[in-house]
Amino acid sequence: MNRYTICIQLCQQCMVDCQNCLANMAGKQSMNDCPVCCMECIDACLACIKSMSANSKFSKAYAAICAEICDWCAEQCGAHSHEHCQICAASCKACADECRKIAA
């Protein structure tokens, strides 16, 4: 198990939960940046996973921006009472916390 394993797993789960949130919010009105944040979060998590999988020297930088985007998404989705939004927010928070450890 390399030092990125947990972060990669949490980024993968975050992508799945953001995709689910995005699919459930399609066509629905939102009072904030959900589901826009989900699209950005999916892209950030994927870039972070790719970077860490390749043991890139930029992994810390990718992890830092991923944490920032995940925090934003957690805040946006967490403001909604939908179950899928709450699951997404929790997943984003967990991912952000682990990404911050890598970025440190």
Domain boundaries, the chain: 5-103
pLDDT score of 30 more than 70 = yes
Mean residue pLDDT across the chain:
95
What is the pLDDT, as a whole number, of residue 89? 97
Fold of the domain built from segment(s) 5-103:
Substrate Binding Domain Of Dnak; Chain:A; Domain 2 (1.20.1270)
Residue with token string 């009472």: 81
Contact 26, 65 (CB under 8 A): no
pLDDT score of 99 more than 80 = yes
Q: Taking each helix axis from N to C terminus, what angle separates 83-103 and 59-78, rounded to the nearest 10 degrees?
A: 150
Average pLDDT over residues 40-62: 97
Average pLDDT over residues 16-36: 89
Residue with token string 């992508």: 15
Predicted model pTM: 0.94
pLDDT score of 1 more than 70 = no
Annotate 34-45 with b (16+ C-beta within 10 A) or e (fewer). Answer: bbebbebbbebb
